[in-house]
Each structure stands twice: as C-alpha cells, then as structure tokens.
Amino acid sequence: MAGSGKFFVGGNWKCNGTKDSVSKLVTELNAATLEPDVDVVVAPPFIYIDQVKSSLTDRIEVSAQNVWIGKGGAYTGEISAEQLVDIGCQWVILGHSERRHIIGEDDEFIGKKAAYALSQNVKVIACIGELLEEREAGKTFDVCFKQMKAFADSITNWADVVVAYEPVWAIGTGKVATPEQAQEVHAAVRDWLKTNVSPDVASSIRIIYGGSVNAANCAELAKKEDIDGFLVGGASLKGPDFATIINSVTSKKVAA
C-alpha cells in the first residue's frame, strides 16, 4: 500500500553555502532536466531563502529548515511561519535529527511547531528516525511511533505533510539503510498511521527516506513500494547528483 501522492524529493542544504555557491547550485538546478511527475523542494539556510526564491525555477519549491513554534514577536534569533509565507517559502523541515539530538528539541515542541506551521499554510516535512543504539536494542519502531504520535497529537490535517524517515545512524555517515531496512520501517509507519490516524491518511501520505541517499543508491531504494521519495543531504548540494535522485522516479515506474 504505497502512498498515492506524487514522488517527492527534498534537498536539505543544512548549514552550508555562500552567495556564490548558492548561485552556482541554482544555475545547475535551473539547467537540469527533471522528470515532470515529481514534487521537488530545496531547503537553503534562512539567509539565502530570498536569493534562492528569486533566482530558482518555479519548478522547484523552497523550504525552510526550521520555524518558530507560534506567532512572531520577542523571540530573538527565530523566524516565524508568517515571515516564511511573506517571502514565498512554502515548506518547512521539522523534527530533523540534528534539531532533536544536537539542539535538544523534544517531540512535543516539534509537534506544536508542525501544527502552527500548517495553520499558516506552510507545508511540513516531518522527520522521524532512531539512533544506532536504539536500532541495536530493537527499538526502531518504538522510537519512530513515539515521534509520529507527537506529530499526530498536534496535527489535524495531514494533507500538507510529508513524513521523512531518517535513521540517525545513516545521516552523513555514508551508511545507508538497505532498501529492505528502509521499506520495513516505511511500511510500519504507514500501518501506524492507518491504525492511529486514518486509513485515508495512511494510503495518501508520502513517506520519504533520508540518510546518505546519493546518485548511486537512489534507484534501488526508489523501487521499494512504501518509499515515496527522498530527503537528501550532501548530494543535494551538487545539482547533477540531485537531478539524478529526482529522476530515480523512473525506477518506481518500472517496479510498478
């Protein structure tokens, strides 16, 4: 029971880039030939969103990497959903493992951020995933379901949500979950949504994989039934590689 939505590929640029490197990457992306039936989103650091928005083809939507939990005001250093909307930014990545484990954001805080962003018509890439020690202890599903529950406790409308499964042990490590490992978690998360949210949400939502996805491994991952796309880190900083990952949708069609 794969997601019925369009294949989805996001590029998380993380804390990388300069005006010059962003300009070069945008030029590469504008020149790339991309399969039409894929939703493509890139997430630059806040300070480059405006530059990207004004120079990147409309074919690719723009995301932020984080957002504040509520309306703007006296929150030094934060960016509000209203400000994202103001500059034409349609998406935000929330719950990324780096925010959870390095910055210390907890499940409930992330869930509330997601609800507020959605209330302002900012779409959400909701990230979940387990640490290596959690996987080794057999707790992968427990951790992912607990993180999903925090989103489900706050989100009422799932139409503008994409779930990204990112095993923390595979992010930036070069270790990739095997297609089978990824498929197993994606299927379990979809099943959790069916039981705890609704069968409709479970069948329509896109569950994408993140964690050392690159031009060489994307096709095999894309073939799996419950993998509806990718959230890409390092490889999204190279235009041609990112295009290859976007175009791995063709593997999906062959598999179907």
Instruction: Give catalytic residue positions.
Output: 96, 166
CA distance 105 to 213: 25
Q: What's CA 37's distance to the chain center, in Å?
A: 18
What is the token pair recorded at 52?
């990207």
**Cβ-contact 193, 186 below 8 angstroms:** no
Tokens encoding 123 = 């779409």
Taking the C-alpha atoms of residue 97 and residue 82, their distance in angstroms, rounded to an integer, is 24
- The 3-state DSSP class for residue 145 equals helix
Token pair in block for residue 50: 């405006």
Number of Cβ within 10 Å of residue 47's Cβ equals 10
